[in-house]
Amino acid sequence: MKILFIADPMSGFKTYKDTTYAMMQEMAQRGWTLYHSLASQLSVQGKLVVAEVSKFDFIGARDDKDHHWFVSTAAQTLALNKFDAVIMRTDPPFDMQYLYATQLLTLGQQQGARVFNSGQAMRDFNEKLAILNFADLTAPTIVTTRAADIRQFLDEYHDIIIKPLDGMGGMGIFRLSQQDPNISSILEMLMRMDSRTIMAQQYIPDIIYGDKRILIIGGKVVPYALARIPKEGETRGNLAAGGKGVAQPLSARDRFIAETIAPELIRREILLAGLDVIGDYLTEINVTSPTGFQEITKQTDCKVAALFADAVVAAIS
């Protein structure tokens, strides 16, 4: 198996928690040949979508601060269709450069490349807006470019969360109450004077028990969620915002939400998705670079990276 990872620079990986690192480790143990490229190294040459790639040997990190866990060979230019699978793992934000990369990936697929997740899926299934396809599973939600709409929503629900549509790791997320003296400033900053579309959702008090990440791999629901519990004084449970990750079995409601969404993921050729669920409500569907593999694996008997590698094999065969 010859696998290309399109991901951020590997020297910057936090190997003790990085999901892409876990994927690479599992595939290296299986004897697969691994390559790495940046999204910015995609191009079209001779009518083919190609990437400047570096083959690397996976050595493994000696400790949490070891950045010399791989040895790369000299870069070469190869067509995407020369690989058994192309794994897109570049982190958001989903800006114009990201959009262009997904378009090149789609062209590469038309030329025979097998890309996971597909460029089309990443364009069409925005991680925030995708939940609107499953309105029965969500808390009250609005999407708007007008601050007046947010104020009206706040008047109705009294306690809300607002967030941009293109961030990750909890960036740009605010909790607003009617007594907040900074409402105007926050809306002006986040909405850029009514020129930027954002999402608002009713605040869900169950966040104190964790923002649950539920993984769906190859249409199958991983039996454990990673509950990301906010640190004291924080609204966001994201690990990047200091949340504590606690693996736990899925509740009946968790499984119902995941199994409701799984067929749509299969239809859209989304091999890996990470649902965010707070209490009984779906809040996001992450398809760009879902995380949580290492935390779940370390705390349970579920080897998530192995499930992903198995799904890659099934998808390409």
Catalytic residue list: 128, 163, 213, 228, 236, 276, 284, 286
How far, CA to CA in Å, does 260 sit from each of 79, 124, 220, 293? 37, 19, 11, 22
CB 87 within 8 A of CB 4: yes
Query: 216 pairs with which residues across the strands?
Result: 221, 273
- C-alpha distances (whole Å) from 297 to each of 6, 119, 305 are 23, 28, 8
Return the closest-CA partner of residue 281 out of 222, 211, 221.
211
SS3 assignment, position 309: helix
Q: Which amino acid is at 89?
A: R
- 275 contacts 284 by C-beta, under 8 angstroms: yes
Q: Count other Cβ atoms within 10 Å, centred on residue 157.
A: 17
265 contact partners, CB below 8 Å, separation of at least 6: 216, 219, 273
Q: What are the two backbone dihedrals, phi and then psi, of residue 121, each rounded to the nearest 5 degrees?
A: -65, -40
How far is it, in rounded angstroms, from Cα 8 to Cα 184? 36
